[in-house]
């Protein structure tokens, strides 16, 4: 397999394990999503690969954007346009993806987890669509993917409140497909991947295409809207306050401005 700066890729027994290597929090940017999209496209052309596991090193699966290192993001006219172009590529790949989610999947990290077909987590795992607490609009296509997975009402609850949903609740919502101890997440993902890999690969790809339907097209359309709203809201005082509160680990004081 090709070498990647922030990923390791191991293909064994028809299962590819793609591991994000930006511990402890595996913060994302467009370069990371670009690498993941490149790997998935390469694996689509690899006949030995039948299913992909997306995992990560460290404490958290993906804790979203690193605002502490990018405090000027609110001054950028188009901070996520490159990232969302790469994100759409994830949804256009053909083979099943299982996300092994330890720790937190927050913001865009939740969006990345939702790009997968299935999610394996632990009782300690946390999922948060934290955009409203940042004075921001959701992105990464989660306007489509989150309601698709947990239903419109539960998606609205998560988006409006930015609530951190832990493992048991995530399982009840349908956000997680299986719950195991943290140390067993990757083993469970491999066990599930082996079940998928034992099915006829052409049939699985065909069935997946039918089940997902025009999801990639929906994501491509919605990220354009998400981006326009993010650009609009990033000029607000509420966004500046939301980012500051997040960095200072305090409750935000929003004033609708």
**Distance from the Cα of residue 28 to its chain's centroid:** 10
| Chain segment 98-122, per-residue pLDDT in tens | 999 999 999 999 999 999 999 999 9
> What residue has token string 């993902």?
189
Between CA 202 and CA 142 the distance in angstroms is 28
- In whole angstroms, give the CA distance from residue 252 to residue 130: 12
Any bridge partners for residue 11, and if so which?
16
Q: What are phi and psi of 7, to 5 degrees?
A: -135, 150
The ranges assigned to domains in the chain are 7-182
- For the stretch 123-178, pLDDT in tens is 999 999 999 999 999 999 999 999 999 999 999 999 999 999 999 999 999 999 99
Q: Does residue 7 register a pLDDT over 90?
A: yes
Output the CATH code of domain 7-182: 3.90.226.10
pLDDT at 71: 46
What H or E segment, with its residue span, contains residue 170? helix 167-173
CA distance 141 to 230: 13
């Amino acid at each position: 397999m090709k070498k990647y700066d922030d990923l390791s890729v191991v293909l064994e027994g028809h299962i590819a394990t793609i591991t994000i290597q930006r511990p402890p929090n595996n913060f994302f940017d467009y370069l990371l999503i670009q690498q993941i999209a490149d790997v998935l496209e390469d694996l689509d052309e690899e006949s030995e690969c039948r299913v992909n596991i997306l995992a990560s090193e460290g404490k958290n699966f993906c804790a979203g954007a690193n605002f502490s290192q990018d405090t000027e993001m609110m001054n950028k006219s188009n901070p996520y346009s490159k990232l969302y172009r790469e994100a759409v590529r994830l949804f256009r790949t053909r083979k099943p993806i299982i996300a092994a989610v330890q720790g937190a999947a927050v913001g865009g990290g939740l969006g990345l987890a939702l790009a997968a077909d299935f999610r394996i987590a632990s009782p300690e795992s946390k999922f948060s669509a934290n955009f409203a607490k940042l004075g921001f609009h959701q992105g990464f296509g989660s306007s489509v993917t989150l309601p698709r997975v947990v239903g419109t009402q539960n998606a609205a609850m998560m988006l409006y409140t930015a609530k951190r949903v832990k493992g048991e609740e995530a399982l009840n919502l349908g956000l997680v497909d299986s719950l195991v101890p943290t140390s067993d997440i990757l083993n469970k993902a491999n066990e599930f991947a082996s079940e998928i890999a034992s099915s006829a690969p052409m049939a699985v790809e065909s069935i997946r295409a039918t089940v997902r339907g025009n999801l990639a097209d929906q994501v491509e359309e919605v990220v354009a809207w998400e981006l326009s709203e993010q650009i609009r809201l990033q000029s607000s005082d509420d966004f500046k306050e939301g980012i500051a509160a997040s960095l200072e680990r305090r409750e935000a004081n929003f004033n609708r401005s």
